[in-house]
Structure 1
Amino acid sequence: MSNQSTITIYHNPACGTSRNTLGLIRNSGAEPRVIEYLLTPPTRDELVGLIAGMGIAVRDLLRKKGTPYADLGLDNLALTDDQLLDAMMDHPILVNRPIVVTPLGVKLCRPSEVVLDILPQPQNGAFTKEDGEKVVDEQGKRLF
């Protein structure tokens, strides 16, 4: 059975963590719906739903490195959730990634192996991250 319609990844192909997460999803036999969120950002309502599904604060989804985070003064703790969401809507690069949605939950998959907690199917074999770190053995078992 294909899990194509039941798993979604908000993906940035330029991000190694995102590529590793996508690889782990595919290693479970699933072909997810891949949304390159920089090209097709989630709507405000979708983003609010993802944040609620993850059970995190809006601020916890902000990406600082390689973004206009500092230039926009987003480290100001007086900013409201609405102001932070406005910034993410205006600058999708501020949305940390990858975010994965499965029938078992929604997670910001940093590090990439966090996705293993919400995949409906087990791994089909070994998986090694791009940096050479082995995270799944030949039998599909987590190594940590």
Structure 2
Amino acid sequence: MSDVTIYHNPNCGTSRNTLALLRDKGIEPTVVEYVKAGWTKDQLQDLLTRMEVGAHDILRVRGTNADELGLTDPGVSDDAIIAAMIIEPILVNRPIVVTPKGAALCRPAELVLGLI
């Protein structure tokens, strides 16, 4: 399976474990260090559609300023969260893995096994 992408943060243990699991299965994914690369609105909306979730579901709160920005309020729109994620890519929880079988936030790392 060569058509695999991981949106990865090398500073995150779960992200490193997920990448290691893929490699242990003989899969060398395209690795996108999203904190460096950033996000586009289309990219995030495509991932949310593929995962069948809303922006709140991939919002990273721990270790970010999501609370201070008011993004954890249930009434905040997906558009507002996505706009914040574009400005501050770290607000996206990780790792997100995309394969021909689907896409998922792989927390815990073993969730990736259902995508390969």
TM-score by length of 2: 0.96
Shift of 1:21: 0.2
1:78 correspondence with 2:75: yes
State the secondary structure of the residue aligned to 1:87. Answer: helix
Alignment partners' CA distance in 2, 1:90 and 1:103: 29
* Shift, 1:76, TM fit: 2.0
Q: Is this contact kept in 1: 2:5–2:99, CA < 8 A?
A: yes
> In the TM superposition, what are the counterparts of 1:126-137 in structure 2 within 5 Å?
none
Give the root-mean-square deviation of aligned CA atoms. 0.9
**How far apart, CA to CA, are the structure 1 residues paired with 2:72 and 2:115?**
31
Is 1:89 the counterpart of 2:79? The answer is no
Q: Which has the higher helix share?
A: 2
* Count of residue pairs the alignment pairs up: 116
Counterpart among 93, 106, 110 of residue 109 in structure 1: 106
Percent of pairs identical after alignment?
A: 51
Q: Which runs of 5+ in 2 are unaligned?
A: none
Distance 1:41 1:104 in 2: 24
Tell me, in whole angstroms, the C-alpha distance in 1 between the residues paired with 2:24 and 2:68. Answer: 39
Alignment check: 8 A CA contact 2:96 2:105 kept:
yes
Structure 1 ranges of 4+ moved more than 3 A: none
Corresponding residue for residue 23 of structure 2 = 26
Answer 1 or 2: higher relative contact order, Cα 8 Å, separation at least 6. 2
Match of 2:4 among 2, 7, 26: 7
